[in-house]
Structure 1
Amino acid sequence: MNDYAILTSEGEYTIFEFNKDRIKFATSDRLKRYTKIMEWDHGYIVVNAEYKGVGEVEEYIDLVPILENLYYDVDKFLEPIKEVRIEYAS
């Protein structure tokens, strides 16, 4: 079992993956890609993101309400995650 999760995007969706779970949620259609994880704090992610026509900006993603809406045991799911990495296919 990994102790890190993966953050990426496909089109207008953000994808958060940890082990066998893949959580996909809507984001801006102007998002080009996530570029750098600045902070991970038990479901709260501060990340730099590149947007079409805007450039790079700091973004905030709170996974807790998303996980709650999907009926996850939030603490149990997030507890083993020690870091988040950005990965895109080459």
Structure 2
Amino acid sequence: MEDEGKYRATLACDGRYTSFTFGDRTIRFRTSRALLRYIEVKEWDKGYLVVTAEYDGAAAPVEEYIDLVPILQDLYYDPQAFLGPIREVLVA
């Protein structure tokens, strides 16, 4: 049986930062101060995420879009090498 966990990444928020973890690597980037939590990852497409998030002061959850490719490029990562093996992203 194939170990599905090795193809899974996680998304989380902690204060003003979002973290994206895959394997032994975690990238962090700033997000809105009003972001309380990510509720669900609705779509994963090779570095592009569609998520549902909860914000302080918002009456209902908000659909949000995150593009990891430019973030990884700014950190001198090879986006294809880092993101290629990922098949699933879950909220941590």
The TM-score with structure 1 as length reference comes to 0.94
Q: Over aligned residue pairs, what C-alpha RMSD do you find? A: 0.9
Which ranges of 4 or more aligned residues in structure 1 deviate by more than 6 Å?
none
CA distance in 1, matches of 2:81, 2:26: 16
CA distance in 2, matches of 1:2, 1:9: 21
SS in 2 for 1:68: helix
1:69 aligned partner: 74
- For each residue in 1:40-74, what CA deviation from the matched residue of structure 2 results, as whole angstroms up to 9, or x when unmatched? 00000000000000031000000000000111111
From 4, 27, 43, give the equivalent of 2:8.
4
Matched, 1:83 2:79: no
Q: Percent identity?
A: 53
Equivalenced residues, count: 87
Q: Which structure has more helix as a fraction of its residues?
A: 2
Structure of larger gyration radius: 2
Unaligned runs of 5+ in 2: none
